[in-house]
Amino acid sequence: MKRVFLIVLDSVGIGEMPDAAEYHDSGSNTIKAVSRSPYFSMPNMRKLGFFNIDGVEAGERERHPKGAFARMTETSKGKDTTIGHWEIAGVVSKRPLPTFPEGFPAKVLEEFERRTGRGVLCNRPYSGTEVIKDYGKEHLETGKLIVYTSADSVFQIAAHENVVPVETLYEYCRMAREILTGDVGVGRVIARPFEGAPGSFARTNRRHDFSLEPPEDTLLDRLQKAGYQVLSVGKIVDIFAGRGISEYVRTVSNADGIDKTLAFMDRDFEGLCFTNLVDFDMLYGHRNDVDGYAKALSYFDERLPQILEKLRGDDVLMITADHGCDPSTPSTDHSREYTPLVMAGASVAAGTNYGTRESFADIAATILNYFGIEPACAGKPLVF
């Protein structure tokens, strides 16, 4: 019985890519920035070879790594969560998803207002925590929805839970998702519920993403069609619009995501368990919180032995990321960076450095090859 546990440490980049300047990300290096914090400690990832990855400028190299490792290059045009995960799953995006640095077109908002019966506030790029500070009071008074975006391909809707019940907010997001297609087809429509009073507004953990469907079959689709199970932990089910998923569980934190991954490890199944741990990005990267980011990485490292202990004979653990989000730069957006790949398991050749790979899609090709499925996707498999 073969099982693969693929864990995405959301936004844990390991250094700028050669084209970073095109994305205004020159000098970005998430792991290097975070490693300067006194709270940074990753001895267990070090043992697997994390700091032996080509170009990593943090930590101390392990003389005899217990895992295999590689530096992953994003081939897709962009630095968004959606296309990063799609490429990990074997789909390369040759064109970037649309972004709206000047706000969304009037025709989009007019149709959105018509369908929801509510007006719109803001309509420009904004920090998620700042936008509710600046527009939350007016939202409470008028019932208008706070619509905003970022440097990423997102249409975000913030609403107070006492003004717009969460399920209603989700329905508004579904309406927006139907509107936002073609040239305005953003990667994700995101529900951003919040609570509290003016001066003390806080986002709740009932965020929900509504993604575009991948343009072609992914790793998940191929595994499912071959009769394997695909288990989703966290926002994976949202990123892939529910496609190719056999079973999913949502999470409220990295700790919850690790707990639910461990619960799946205790089950008998054959296939893939795909986990996203989003706190690195959502709580710390976008808020330029270096120490918080370091603490989150150290916490994951503390929990890593529990994951390793549950690996069975033919299990493979793969730990990677989808982009960077350097918390030490003036920007609060994602950064165009290489990402890590660390692998462990009885069948993995310990100490193997697979060098710098040409695409995140090598992960999908490797997993399909492991299950004996013709890859038929972008990427080249890493042979154990």
Alpha-carbon distance of 309 to 261, in angstroms, equals 13
Same domain, yes or no: 315 and 255: yes
Within-domain flag for 381: no
Same domain, yes or no: 218 and 341: yes
Same domain, yes or no: 222 and 336: yes
Q: How confident is the model at residue 38 (pLDDT cuts 50, 70, 90)?
A: very high
State which of 195, 211, 227 marks the end of a domain.
211
Alpha-carbon distance of 71 to 87, in angstroms, equals 15
If one counts the domains in the chain, the total is 2
Whether the per-residue pLDDT at 283 is higher than 90: the answer is yes
Average the pLDDT over 279-300 and give the result: 97
State which of 170, 187, 211 marks the end of a domain.
211
Within-domain flag for 119: yes
Within-domain flag for 360: yes
Q: How confident is the model at residue 377 (pLDDT cuts 50, 70, 90)?
A: confident
Alpha-carbon distance of 48 to 25, in angstroms, equals 29
Confidence at residue 69, expressed as pLDDT on a 0 to 100 scale: 98
Average the pLDDT over 245-252 and give the result: 97
Confidence at residue 374, expressed as pLDDT on a 0 to 100 scale: 86
Within-domain flag for 101: no
pLDDT tens track for 327-369 = 999 999 999 999 999 999 999 999 999 999 999 999 999 999 9
Confidence at residue 112, expressed as pLDDT on a 0 to 100 scale: 98
Same domain, yes or no: 315 and 362: yes
- Give the position of tokens 């019940």: 165
pLDDT tens track for 109-165 = 999 999 999 999 999 999 999 999 999 999 999 999 999 999 889 999 999 999 999
Alpha-carbon distance of 246 to 240, in angstroms, equals 12
pTM of the predicted structure, to 2 decimals? 0.91
CB distance 164 to 192 below 8 Å: no
Confidence at residue 151, expressed as pLDDT on a 0 to 100 scale: 84
Alpha-carbon distance of 303 to 136, in angstroms, equals 37
Same domain, yes or no: 259 and 352: yes
CB distance 329 to 356 below 8 Å: no
Within-domain flag for 278: yes
CB distance 129 to 203 below 8 Å: yes
**Lowest-pLDDT range of 254-258, 319-323, 368-372, 377-381:** 377-381
Whether the per-residue pLDDT at 375 is higher than 90: the answer is no
Q: How confident is the model at residue 384 (pLDDT cuts 50, 70, 90)?
A: confident
Alpha-carbon distance of 78 to 63, in angstroms, equals 35
Within-domain flag for 73: yes
Same domain, yes or no: 82 and 129: no
374: Cα separation from own chain's centroid? 26
pLDDT tens track for 184-221 = 999 999 999 999 999 999 999 899 999 999 999 999 99
Helix H, strand E, coil C: the string for the chain is: CCEEEEEEECCCCCCECCCHHHHCCCCCCHHHHHHCCCCCCCHHHHHHCHHHCCCCCCCCCCCCCCCEEEEECCCCCCCCHHHHHHHHCCCCCCCCCCCCCCCCCHHHHHHHHHHHCCCEEEEEECCHHHHHHHHHHHHHHHCCEEEEECCCCEEEEEEECCCCCHHHHHHHHHHHHHHCCHHHCCCEEEEEEEECCCCCCEECCCCEEEECCCCCCCHHHHHHHCCCEEEEECCHHHHCCCCCCCEEECCCCHHHHHHHHHHHHCCCCCEEEEEEECHHHHHHHCCCCHHHHHHHHHHHHHHHHHHHHCCCCCCEEEEECCCECCCCCCCCCCECECEEEEEECCCCCCCCEEEECCCCCHHHHHHHHHCCCCCCCCCCCCCC
Same domain, yes or no: 207 and 336: no
Confidence at residue 301, expressed as pLDDT on a 0 to 100 scale: 98
pLDDT tens track for 46-98 = 999 999 999 999 999 999 999 999 999 999 999 999 999 999 999 999 998 99
Within-domain flag for 18: yes
Backbone angles phi, psi at 285, to 5 degrees: -60, -50
pLDDT tens track for 295-321 = 999 999 999 999 999 999 999 999 999
Q: What is the span of the domain harbouring residue 336?
A: 3-93+213-370
Confidence at residue 152, expressed as pLDDT on a 0 to 100 scale: 86
Tally the residues of the chain.
Answer: 384
